[in-house]
Amino acid sequence: MVSPRELKILYLLLAVSISFCVALTAAYVKQSEGASTAERLRGAGFGFAGSMAVCLPVLMFLLS
């Protein structure tokens, strides 16, 4: 049986992995547009942060 603490950690890792995939996709889109490395990193960072901003409140709701 999985403890509640382990379940929270697994959900957090899921949110991070989803956000990482969003960041990679954003960086790929920026690369296909011909953006510089700094612009690609900024786009990936915004993608990661935006995805985490959506995932974390959903996780808080699910775990409450």
pLDDT in tens, 14-29: 999 999 999 999 999 9
Average pLDDT over residues 42-64: 93
How high is the pLDDT of residue 62?
85
What are the domain boundaries of the chain? 11-63
CA–CA separation, 23 vs 45, rounded Å?
6
User: Where residue 4 falls among pLDDT bands split at 50, 70, 90?
Assistant: confident
DSSP H helix total and E strand total for the chain: 2, 0
8 Å CB contact between 25 and 50: no
How high is the pLDDT of residue 11?
92
Exposed e or buried b for every residue in 34-48, given b needs 16+ CB within 10 A?
Answer: eeeeeebeebbeebb
Whether the per-residue pLDDT at 56 is higher than 90: the answer is yes
